[in-house]
Amino acid sequence: MEILGIDIGGTGIKAAIVDTTTGKLITERHRIPTPKPATPEAVANTIQEMIHFFKWDGLVGCGFPTPLQHGTCLSGGNLHEDWKGTNVRTLFHQKTGNQYSVVNDADAAGLAEIGFGAGKNVEGVVVMITLGTGIGSAIFLDGKLLPNTEFGHVLYKNGEIFEKYAADSARKKYDLSRKEWGDRLHEYFEHIELLLSPDLFIIGGGASKKIEKFESRINIRTPFVPAQSENEAGIIGAALAAKYNIV
């Protein structure tokens, strides 16, 4: 089954047609810069441009960088405050006429890993953690997604969330060495391990490509592995969300 997968980010919107049986992209990725400001209307126009580029009239899956509930944004995330309360599926359908599934971007990345990557055929509780500008999470039980988790927002101390303490953006902001960052990640993963008792952690985002530089600092019971899909995970997972009608 071929589905157009779109990965919507704060700086770029990337898309490709995906063979959801194999998890392979069957076209080259096409990227359009995220409009500034990234208002609902501006992003919807960019999605329309993407649909026209692929000459696509079928199902579309989108990974979206805000907290969601049944396709409606609970906040503007890092896009624009006007997204709060906007139903993304309805907006994009009205703009292009296509049918959409919309999931949080971390959920999309997790779906790709469960379907074709490090989480394939893993039973029990699998937790995908994406480390980038923020910390995203996706939780699976026997391969089934529990959508819309925000475990980057668990409290660290003094009312501060772990995302501000341990995301890759914090490493850059405080000029942390990989070992220092690894120590912060240890605190984070130890806390999530206590809350969820998972069978496997999958580490995604840009950090997954440099895991050997900090993995020795994360001393937890649960095994953890890097994601395998890397830059294509959001596109592949978005397409899978549409295939399985996850909203």
Q: Which CATH number fits domain 2-107+232-243: 3.75.10.20, 3.30.420.40, 3.40.50.620, 3.40.50.300?
A: 3.30.420.40
Do 2-107+232-243 and 120-227 agree at the fold level? yes
Q: How many CB atoms lie within 10 A of CB 36?
A: 10
pLDDT tens, residue order, the chain (247 aa): 999 999 999 899 999 999 999 999 999 999 999 999 999 999 999 999 999 999 999 999 999 999 999 999 999 988 999 999 999 999 999 999 999 999 999 999 999 999 999 999 999 999 999 998 899 999 999 999 999 999 999 999 888 999 999 999 999 999 999 999 999 999 999 999 999 999 999 999 888 888 999 999 999 999 999 999 877 999 999 999 999 998 7
pTM confidence score: 0.95
> Which residue ranges make up each domain of the chain?
2-107+232-243, 120-227
Task: Report which of 230, 237, 247 is spatially closest to residue 6, judged by C-alpha positions.
Answer: 237
Could you name the CATH architecture of 120-227? Answer: 2-Layer Sandwich (3.30)
Residue whose token pair is 């790709």: 112
